[in-house]
Amino acid sequence: MAPFKKPEWHQNERNSDEFTTSVVSGVHAEPSMPQSKKGRFQKRNPSIPDIEQLEQDLLKGERSALARSITLIESNAEHHFRPAQVLLHKLLSHSGKSIRIGITGVPGAGKSTFIETFGTYLCDDLGLNVAVLAVDPSSKVSGGSILGDKTRMEQLSRNPRAFIRPSPSSGKLGGVHRKTRETMLLCEAAGFDVILVETVGVGQSEVIVRDMVDFFMLLALTGAGDELQGMKKGIMELADTVIVNKADGANKQMALRTKAEYDKILHFLQPATKGWGSRAFTCSAMYNEGIADIWQVIEKFTEVTQQSGVFEERRRLQTKEWIYSMIMDQLQFSFFQQPEIKVMLPKIENDVIAGDRTVTSAVEELFSLYSKQ
């Protein structure tokens, strides 16, 4: 078994912490809220956990505290929104110290099997703590989409160093995007070294995940040339590596040929990360072959991009982009929770549907009501 080695990014401070803190405190949180007010707030809402206790337990790495914190972040209940932001604000300075890895690929490419094998390797052979998250923008029902995956990650889900969380559902208090990013911060504060984010379902999840991770990998299948042609060039342009999975048994030779073809394509594409030449590799998630090599590629990537500053630069840009999506969330939240809007919206909606007024004038009236507040 390889000796435990803390990855280098543990020693690096995040430049963007300050940036994030100011946004969160400015828009959402009330870090200086007096004790008495907090007490009253909590009495009125018995479903809100004790935030300070939660913070302490989470920082100790307690799984139940992490799970409860994520539930709070994911909640679509209005009275959970602010306490969740207060908790995040408290934890921000403890976040940012993991490597965030996104994994995409067509259904059946072996993403879940790969995460099971790769995650187990990181936990057992390298002694790292691994959190697995999933992003499924189409998910409307909480916890639905990855339940099947938990059974595919049976070994990993029992590993004391691993934590697996299903994709959150979207809701009016912010989409999957915000919830997954915030969950990532919570996992980091709880001491996770590696965060694996699997894209679930087909759609725009690849772009969403690319925007929240440091390293993005595309898991591919062996296939004939035309299959490769059919592959969306856009997705290959996002990938820091292409891994041809299922390189085992009779499929192995074909996998090596496919890898060579991907290498040729990658060579001509704009690099996904400045200063990093994306390359293709093969592996067998099922038979645990080529897995350690992939980790070495990720370590090399981290080393190269941290030295060049590209790593931090990407995180800064991602944080900046996050600000805008949080502003949208907050605007939406404050609009729909305003009492006058709540009263007027159904009435105006009916008028529009009945053909008594135009959508534009209806929205204009709602916004003038909103801006009077």
Ligand X SMILES: Nc1nc2c(ncn2[C@@H]2O[C@H](COP(=O)(O)OP(=O)(O)OP(=O)(O)O)[C@@H](O)[C@H]2O)c(=O)[nH]1
The residues binding ligand X (CB under 6 A) are 105, 107-113, 152, 245-246, 248, 284-286
**CB of residue 108 to ligand X, shortest distance in Å:** 5
Cβ proximity of 137 and 205 under 8 Å = yes
Q: Is residue 104 near Mg ion by the rule CB under 5 A?
A: no
For Mg ion, which residue of 80, 89, 90, 111 counts as binding (CB under 5 A)?
Answer: 111
**CB of residue 109 to Mg ion, shortest distance in Å:** 9
- Of 112 and 183, the one with the shorter C-beta distance to Mg ion is 112
**CB of residue 201 to ligand X, shortest distance in Å:** 8
Name the one range near Mg ion by CB under 5 A: 145-153, 225-233, 338-346, 351-359: 145-153
Token pair 């009435």 in the structure block, residue:
347
- Of 146 and 298, the one with the shorter C-beta distance to ligand X is 146
- CA–CA separation, 189 vs 182, rounded Å? 11
- Of 29 and 243, the one with the shorter C-beta distance to ligand X is 243
Token pair 């679930």 in the structure block, residue:
200
- Residues in contact with Mg ion, counted by CB under 5 A, come to a total of 3
Residue 245 interacts with which of ligand X, Mg ion, none, CB < 5 to 8 Å by class: ligand X
Direct distance between the N- and C-terminal alpha carbons of the chain, in angstroms, rounded to an integer = 63
- Of 187 and 285, the one with the shorter C-beta distance to Mg ion is 285
Residue 105 interacts with which of Mg ion, ligand X, none, CB < 5 to 8 Å by class: ligand X
- CA–CA separation, 261 vs 258, rounded Å? 5
Q: Is residue 246 near Mg ion by the rule CB under 5 A?
A: no
- CA–CA separation, 142 vs 77, rounded Å? 13
Tokens read off for 213:
């991770």
**CB of residue 112 to Mg ion, shortest distance in Å:** 3
Residue 107 interacts with which of Mg ion, ligand X, none, CB < 5 to 8 Å by class: ligand X
Looking from the CA of 189 toward its CB, the CA atoms found within 13 Å total 26
- Of 147 and 363, the one with the shorter C-beta distance to Mg ion is 147
Residue type, 94: H
Contacts of 131 (CB under 8 A, 6+ apart): 98, 162, 163, 164, 165, 184, 187, 192, 194, 195, 196
Q: Is residue 112 near Mg ion by the rule CB under 5 A?
A: yes
- Residues paired with residue 86 on neighbouring β-strands, in sequence order: none
- Of 158 and 372, the one with the shorter C-beta distance to Mg ion is 158
Checking phi first, is residue 127 left (phi over 0); if not, alpha (psi -120 to 50) or beta? left
**CB of residue 101 to ligand X, shortest distance in Å:** 15
**CB of residue 316 to ligand X, shortest distance in Å:** 31
Residue 346 interacts with which of ligand X, Mg ion, none, CB < 5 to 8 Å by class: none
Render 247-260 in DSSP notation, one character per residue.
--GGGHHHHHHHHH
Read off φ and ψ for residue 200, nearest 5 degrees. Answer: -115, 140
Residue nearest to ligand X (CB): 110
- Of 224 and 363, the one with the shorter C-beta distance to ligand X is 224
**CB of residue 146 to Mg ion, shortest distance in Å:** 7
- CA–CA separation, 73 vs 148, rounded Å? 23
Cβ proximity of 155 and 115 under 8 Å = no
**CB of residue 343 to ligand X, shortest distance in Å:** 44
If DSSP codes are grouped into helix, strand and coil, which group holds residue 133?
Answer: strand
Residue 258 interacts with which of ligand X, Mg ion, none, CB < 5 to 8 Å by class: none
Angle, helix 17-27 to helix 310-337, in steps of 10 degrees: 0
**CB of residue 189 to ligand X, shortest distance in Å:** 28
Cα distances (angstroms) measured from residue 188 to each of 61, 98, 268: 10, 6, 36
- Of 150 and 152, the one with the shorter C-beta distance to ligand X is 152
- CA–CA separation, 321 vs 212, rounded Å? 10
- Of 118 and 163, the one with the shorter C-beta distance to ligand X is 118
Return residues touching Mg ion (CB under 5 A).
111-112, 149
